[in-house]
Amino acid sequence: MKPANPSAPVPRPARNVRAGLATGGLVLLLALAACGVERDPDSGEDITAVPRYHADAPAEVIQGERGDVALRLVADGLVRPWSLAFLPDGDMLVTERPGRLRRISAGGTISAPLGGVPKVFLQGQSGLLDVAVAPTFADDRLVYLSYGEPNWRGNKGGTAVARGRLGESGLEDVQVVFRQEPKLSHGTHMGARIVFDDQGFMFIGTGDNRSAATAQLLDHLQGKVVRLHPDGSVPGDNPFVGREGARPEIWSYGHRNIQGMALHPETRVLWSHEHGPMGGDEINLPQPGRNYGWPLATHGQDYSGGPVPEAVGTSVEGAEEPHHYWPVSPAVSGMAFYTGGAFPEWHGNLFVGALAGQALIRLELDGDRIVHEERLLQGRDRIRDVRAGPDGFLYLLTDGTDGKLLRLEPAAASR
């Protein structure tokens, strides 16, 4: 409690009491750590939960514009799950932001945390993020992880990507193939999705680390899409190769915080989406060397309620207009085009998760044009990731300390 006179000194006994409480709190945290309890550094929540697989969970029928679908719980107890990827045998790899990678088998078992995961910068939105299976996995068993990597002091982080060979107990021969430089994040705006194109190039979407101006700086890797060979080397035809003062890894720039990327199933063009500030979440089709405007152009507002300080308007000369934007931010995360056979009425649709919007967003396309939007599962959960499974079903991850793996199935098949 503050004294009645804010300028009056705080009595020494009160300081001693607070010091005692702080010391006691530290002792409690150390005791919990000794008992195997792990705490989130921001919220203090217990993040030691053991996930559970639900083999026989009943399905809930959800009404949709294109017909009813069934929602089924596959697993829960995941701690801040961020991404999932399917292996050729149907198993899934799932990341948990505190730094855990798990394998969920098609037969219904959930592994203990796999070994070989790099040390992560666990703060705010940072931690273990995306997981991607190499297109060459059948030959080399390579798996890629994006994560927040701490600087040498441990007080700031930047996005990094590492790869390793998946063995029985985890990743082996792990090596870092990309590092965001410089490291500027205190735990926000890390990105970071990984996509491989048909030529085998690796695209990584990064965030601006809440240092907005860096998205326009070509000697920084904040707010960029980068394009690399799978081993981290730079392709010779990248747009800024040989340009003085520019990082050769850069494919496109002027992005705020990319948390979804996917290849269009027919055109094979890269699509991405990114968080706006208050409003102005965007979908873009990143092209080589192009500027996508942030923070000079945005359809959103600053969190203060006023204009973004650097913005000159919703557009700026020399920058691309967003392919699509939301005036009110759903807080987009995860992206998948649907081409499976289980939902023929959804063929070619684009699915996007929504965190603040707590929904699965379904977008109908006419060519590249977005012509209709439906929000499924409205108000139920923060959807962190969405993936189309090899069985034709849609798989979702929800964000939270009791995160869930959900599956969308045709309603008829669930009865």
Cβ neighbourhood burial of 408 (10 Å; 0-12, 13-18, 19+): buried
Helix (H) or strand (E) holding 14: helix 12-34
For strand 332-337 and strand 350-354, is the pairing parallel, antiparallel, or unpaired? antiparallel
Report the C-alpha gap between 338 and 66 in whole angstroms. 14
Report the C-alpha gap between 134 and 142 in whole angstroms. 6
Report the C-alpha gap between 130 and 125 in whole angstroms. 13
299 a catalytic residue: no
Q: Side by side, which strands form the sheet with 224-228? A: 194-196, 202-205, 224-228, 250-253
Question: If you compute the radius of gyration of the chain from its CA atoms, what whole number of angstroms results?
Answer: 22
Q: Which two tokens stand for residue 379?
A: 């108000």
Report the C-alpha gap between 85 and 191 in whole angstroms. 17
Report the C-alpha gap between 262 and 37 in whole angstroms. 37
Report the C-alpha gap between 264 and 222 in whole angstroms. 25
Of 62, 43, 1, 49, the closest CA to residue 409 belongs to 62
Report the C-alpha gap between 375 and 352 in whole angstroms. 10
- Amino acid identity for residue 47 in this structure: I
Longest dimension (CA), the chain: 72
Main-chain phi, psi angles of 128, to 5 degrees: -80, 130
Of 397, 390, 404, 405, the closest CA to residue 342 belongs to 390
Report the C-alpha gap between 60 and 360 in whole angstroms. 16
Residue among 186, 189, 264, 324 flagged as catalytic: 189
Q: Where in the sequence numbering do the catalytic residues fall?
A: 189
